[in-house]
């Protein structure tokens, strides 16, 4: 009888705690709810729901780290409770976007566990698919979106995202095929039409892509400042920027000016406005806009790259404080300085790379007739890759020391305290090359050369660093430095510095590991 009474009393107490917590949560009194959760956990330490609700409270109070800890503890107590997975992966997804991309890989591991519990849960699969798409894990993203499409073949979102994944993987034809098949019965799905334009552009069907973008912008649904309009405008701008004919640059400028009225605070469009004026050679705008952007975004690498071009070409434009002597920050090291076994490590790394799936670049591609690995090589867990990247890390530390000794402006003074490295491989064959581009998402970048063609002449296969970006008008004032790398070289450079490669005529191949080192916001 005593045991029965204790059970009844415990059950009553348990229900009372839950009711009191629920009431506080509805009132948005999260501190009050936390206090009750703490009391409940003392009496019921093995109950997962009080840890779960404590995690919710901390998330609502913007304490993501405590929220993650408590949610993980709740999962340990009750591994089959899916809402805990949902909330913690939301936190990790946000942290991957704002702090460190590595949080995305933790989220994927948790989502895998959630799918073991409920394999057909569309929300979980969709979250996983988006994560893989953003990480450029295109094969996995395609697999996930195809699963969703089988579960719900009429959902336009799944078709759109599947088409996007195919397009980014280099299979634009498959992307177009999917869209056209669905579009026959669903002609008004704007997201799908927009993706069709991106796929057309990736196939270099520029005229068709522009026609689609123009049609989209005439839609009443885009007659307001919404997220979809911004995405359409951004893609349209990118397609016009890549053209060489000045009439498209004037169209680019008009498009940016029109949409700055919709999105006046958009830093993306503000930078596009300066870029468009550069392409149109509207000199009267340069100084004003350049000064404005440098004052507004002193650490923005894209702004720094635009200033680099303008300050080199036009005397009236002053060099920004970001990295005044940027070409002095291109520094070359060699693996032989860091390991006596570098040749052996290179050989093993090449074998690992050739075992990876290769893809073309994303729709607005910089790689011409070259292939890259699909996944971030640093996340593969491959010993050969990890061994070679550990030498890159050692060289990276030396690069940091050298840059700080040079004291090159804000670039050196604001060196990130914490960074994340992302690497991919690039396999280039005869006549392949990379057009002018930079890596403004990173702080600094580099290229490790594992293999070079045997018979190179002059500057064949070289990497060229330049002040002139993309298809900007060039002049004899544009500065360039050419580096002819050899096997084992690691070339470091500020990420905003434009660069391209020259094709080579040899039948051999160039295998390299480019990498970006990105600041992590703490």
Task: Provide the H-helix boundaries in 99-189.
Answer: 102-117, 122-134, 138-151, 156-168, 172-183
Could you give the CA distance from residue 497 to residue 354 in angstroms, rounded to a whole number? 29
Strand partners for 233: none
Looking at residue 7, what is its pLDDT? Answer: 37
Does residue 92 lie within any of the structural domains?
A: no
CATH of the domain at 353: 2.60.120.620
299 and 359 together in one domain: no
Does residue 20 lie within any of the structural domains?
A: yes
| 331-334 and 358-359 beta bridge pairing | unpaired
Does residue 93 lie within any of the structural domains?
A: no
Strand partners for 331: 492
**HSE-up of 443 (CA within 13 Å, CB side)?**
22
318 and 209 together in one domain: yes
Could you give the CA distance from residue 57 to residue 26 in angstroms, rounded to a whole number? 11
Looking at residue 505, what is its pLDDT? Answer: 86
CATH of the domain at 49: 1.25.40.10
Does residue 128 lie within any of the structural domains?
A: no
229 and 314 together in one domain: yes
Looking at residue 360, what is its pLDDT? Answer: 55
Looking at residue 12, what is its pLDDT? Answer: 65
300 and 287 together in one domain: yes
The count of other CB atoms within 10 Å of the CB of residue 117 is: 13
The secondary structure of 14-72 as a DSSP string is HHHHHHHHHHHHHTT-HHHHHHHHHHHHHH-TT-HHHHHHHHHHHHHTT-HHHHHHHHH
339 and 475 together in one domain: yes
* Tens of each residue's pLDDT in the chain, 522 residues: 444 344 334 566 888 888 888 898 899 999 999 999 999 989 888 889 899 999 999 999 999 999 999 999 999 999 999 999 999 999 999 888 887 788 888 999 999 999 999 999 999 999 999 999 988 888 999 999 999 999 999 888 999 999 999 988 888 899 999 998 887 777 678 888 888 998 888 887 888 988 999 888 888 878 788 888 999 999 899 889 888 888 999 999 999 999 999 999 999 999 999 999 999 999 888 889 999 999 999 999 999 999 999 999 998 899 999 999 999 999 999 999 999 999 999 999 999 998 887 665 454 456 666 777 877 888 888 999 999 999 999 999 999 999 999 888 999 999 999 898 999 988 888 888 888 899 999 999 999 999 998 878 888 889 999 999 888 888 888 899 999 999 999 999 999 999 999 988 888 889 999 999 999 875
430 and 351 together in one domain: yes
Does residue 117 lie within any of the structural domains?
A: no
273 and 341 together in one domain: no
Does residue 182 lie within any of the structural domains?
A: yes
Count of the separate structural domains present in the chain: 3
| 444-451 and 489-494 beta bridge pairing | antiparallel
What predicted TM-score, i.e. pTM, was given to this entire model?
0.84
Does residue 511 lie within any of the structural domains?
A: yes
Enclosing domain of residue 16:
2-78
Q: Please give the DSSP secondary-structure letter assigned to residue 428.
A: E
Helices 30-43 + 2-26 axis angle, to 10: 160
Does residue 367 lie within any of the structural domains?
A: yes
């Amino acid at each position: 009888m005593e045991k029965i009474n204790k059970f009844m009393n415990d059950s009553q107490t348990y229900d009372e705690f839950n009711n009191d917590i629920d009431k506080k949560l509805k009132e948005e009194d999260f501190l009050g709810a936390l206090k009750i959760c703490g009391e409940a956990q003392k009496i019921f330490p093995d109950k997962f729901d009080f840890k779960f609700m404590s995690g919710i409270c901390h998330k609502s109070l913007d304490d993501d780290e405590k929220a993650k800890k408590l949610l993980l503890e709740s999962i340990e107590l009750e591994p089959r409770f899916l809402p805990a997975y949902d909330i913690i992966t939301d936190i990790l997804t946000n942290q991957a976007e704002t702090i460190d991309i590595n949080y995305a890989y933790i989220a994927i591991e948790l989502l895998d566990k959630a799918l073991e519990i409920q394999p057909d849960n569309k929300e979980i699969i969709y979250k996983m698919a988006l994560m893989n798409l953003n990480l450029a894990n295109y094969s996995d993203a395609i697999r996930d979106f195809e699963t969703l499409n089988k579960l719900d073949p009429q959902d336009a979102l799944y078709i759109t995202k599947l088409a996007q994944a195919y397009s980014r993987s280099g299979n634009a034809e498959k992307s177009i095929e999917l869209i056209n098949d669905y579009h026959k019965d669903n002609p008004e799905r704007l997201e799908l039409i927009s993706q069709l334009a991106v796929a057309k552009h990736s196939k270099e069907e520029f005229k068709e892509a522009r026609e689609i973008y123009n049609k989209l912008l005439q839609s009443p649904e885009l007659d307001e400042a919404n997220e979809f309009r911004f995405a359409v405008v951004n893609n349209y701008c990118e397609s016009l920027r890549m053209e060489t004919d000045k009439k498209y640059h004037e169209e680019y400028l008009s498009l940016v000016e029109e949409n700055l009225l919709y999105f006046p605070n958009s830093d993306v469009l503000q930078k596009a406005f300066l870029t468009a004026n550069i392409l149109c050679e509207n000199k009267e705008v340069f100084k004003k806009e350049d000064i404005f952007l440098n004052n507004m975004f002193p650490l923005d690498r894209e702004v720094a790259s635009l200033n680099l071009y303008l300050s080199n070409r036009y005397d009236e434009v002053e060099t920004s404080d970001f990295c005044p002597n940027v070409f002095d920050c291109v520094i070359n090291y060699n693996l032989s300085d860091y390991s006596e076994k570098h040749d052996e490590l290179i050989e093993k790394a090449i074998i690992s790379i050739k075992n990876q799936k290769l893809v073309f670049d994303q729709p607005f591609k910089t790689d011409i007739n070259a292939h890259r690995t699909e996944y971030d090589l640093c996340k593969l867990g491959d010993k050969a890759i990890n061994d070679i990247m550990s030498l890159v890390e050692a060289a990276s530390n030396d690069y940091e020391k050298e840059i700080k000794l040079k004291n090159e402006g804000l670039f050196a003074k604001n060196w990130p305290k914490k960074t994340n490295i992302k690497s991919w491989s690039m396999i280039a064959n005869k006549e392949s090359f990379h057009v002018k581009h930079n890596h403004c998402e990173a702080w600094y970048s580099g290229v490790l050369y594992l293999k070079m063609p045997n018979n190179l002449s002059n500057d064949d296969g070289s990497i060229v660093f330049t002040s002139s970006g993309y298809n900007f008008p060039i002049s004899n004032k544009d500065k360039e430095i050419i580096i002819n790398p050899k096997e084992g070289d690691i070339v470091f450079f500020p990420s905003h510095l434009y660069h391209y490669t020259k094709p080579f005529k040899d039948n051999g191949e160039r295998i390299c590991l480019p990498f970006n080192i990105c600041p992590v916001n703490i």
